[in-house]
């Protein structure tokens, strides 16, 4: 997918070279303080040439960016097809995760319940969503809602602490009582199997990769992933969908 980077860089350098036609007029203006008409005419012509050429450069840059995007989407499609094949016979209840205390939690323990899986971080602009998630949990846990947080340090290194620090942060700052798992990766070869599975079932905008912290996956009472929400979708906006599943 990085094949077109040299092309984009070359186009940017060409853009800088386009400044040359303006240099003579600029030098004369600086020396004399008042350029003659011939230099004014030259400057207008140079600017016209400049604008035409800059249009071409912008077009090349746009084309380069488009090719990069298409390459990324093709790569994502191929890699996700392989993962989908691996996960074809899997069910959400087949997976396990480690809690912050190091204990194993089986997703089979959530059978018959609605589950919201969230990748979290303590130093993110979306971190205040912990409060909304806890409100949802307190409101609907007796009706069958389970929220599971998975701390992740892949986005801007916004979850640098260890298990003890993460647990203390969640409890002290937001009074979190829903289960928080040990820190995991959500993208790449080392991604946690749960997130590989969820991404294979629910793709996102511009590819299946998780784009940032507090991406949310909603699983129904039968263990079927039914909807994916971006970090911009707050817990409050998810509540009506959760109510329907409950």
Q: Which residues are identified as catalytic? A: 124
Q: CA 233 from chain center: how many Å?
A: 13
- In sequence order, the 6+-apart residues with CB closer than 8 A to the CB of 47 are 22
Distance CA 71, CA 83 (A): 18
Using alpha carbons, select from 111, 122, 126, 172 the residue that is nearest to residue 150: 122
Strands (E) in the chain, as ranges, are: 96-98, 104-106, 114-120, 145-151, 216-219, 225-229
Cα dist from 230 to 181, 234, 237, whole Å: 20, 9, 11
Distance CA 162, CA 141 (A): 27
Using alpha carbons, select from 152, 217, 157, 158 the residue that is nearest to residue 182: 152
């Amino acid at each position: 997918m990085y094949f077109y980077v040299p092309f984009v860089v070359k186009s940017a350098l060409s853009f800088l070279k386009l400044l040359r036609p303006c240099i003579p007029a600029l030098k004369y203006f600086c020396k004399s303080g008042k350029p003659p008409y011939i230099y004014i005419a030259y400057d207008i012509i140079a600017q016209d040439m400049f604008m035409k050429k800059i249009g071409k450069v912008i077009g090349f840059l746009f084309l380069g960016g488009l090719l990069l995007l298409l390459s990324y989407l093709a790569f994502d499609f191929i890699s996700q097809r392989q993962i989908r094949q691996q996960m074809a016979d899997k069910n959400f209840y087949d997976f396990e995760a480690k809690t912050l205390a190091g204990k194993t939690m089986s997703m089979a323990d959530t059978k018959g319940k609605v589950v919201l899986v969230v990748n979290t971080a303590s130093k993110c602009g979306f971190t205040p969503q912990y409060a909304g998630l806890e409100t949802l949990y307190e409101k609907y846990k007796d009706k069958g809602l389970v929220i599971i947080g998975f701390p992740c340090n892949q986005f801007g290194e916004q979850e640098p602490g260890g298990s003890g620090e993460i647990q203390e942060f969640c409890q002290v700052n937001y009074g979190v009582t829903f289960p928080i798992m040990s820190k995991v990766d959500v993208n790449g070869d080392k991604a946690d199997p749960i997130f590989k599975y969820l991404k294979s079932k629910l793709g996102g905008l511009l590819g299946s990769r998780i784009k940032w912290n507090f991406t949310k996956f909603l699983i129904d009472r039968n263990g079927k992933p039914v909807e994916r929400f971006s970090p911009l979708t707050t817990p409050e906006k998810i509540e009506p969908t959760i109510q329907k599943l409950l």
